[in-house]
Amino acid sequence: MIGLGKWECKVDTMFYKGTITIEISDNNGEYAFVFGAEGTPIPEINVIEVHEENGNTLVGTGTTPMLPGKELVATMTFTDDTHFDGSLKVPFLGKIKVKNGYKVG
């Protein structure tokens, strides 16, 4: 499994500007995620599927009750054991790019 640990990244969109945390863990061979946002509650995110690509990228899909019937798509490409770049595709908002994510735990 790749990307296990706690990660942070800065996000700057018209709806949120701040630090996002992503905790990735191994739950009996399945990826498990816990999301957080500095100073803002995170809506419930239901992870549908996660798979690895090219040995260094996680691609996941999920849903949130805030956008019924729509899917979120996230990618995280790990450049080494301490950094990642990625994106989150959100219906109606488009693709939010994430650069220079870093491991904090």
Which one-letter DSSP state was computed for residue 84?
E
* pLDDT at residue 8, as a whole number: 96
**53: pLDDT strictly greater than 90:** yes
Exposure string for 38-74, b = 16+ CB within 10 A, e = fewer? eeeeeeebebeebeeeeeebbbbebbbeeeeeeebeb
What is the pTM assigned to this prediction? 0.88
* pLDDT at residue 46, as a whole number: 93
* pLDDT at residue 71, as a whole number: 96
Question: Considering all CA atoms of the chain, what is the largest pairwise distance in Å, rounded to the nearest integer?
Answer: 38
**11: pLDDT strictly greater than 90:** no
Average pLDDT, the chain: 92
* pLDDT at residue 43, as a whole number: 86
**59: pLDDT strictly greater than 90:** yes
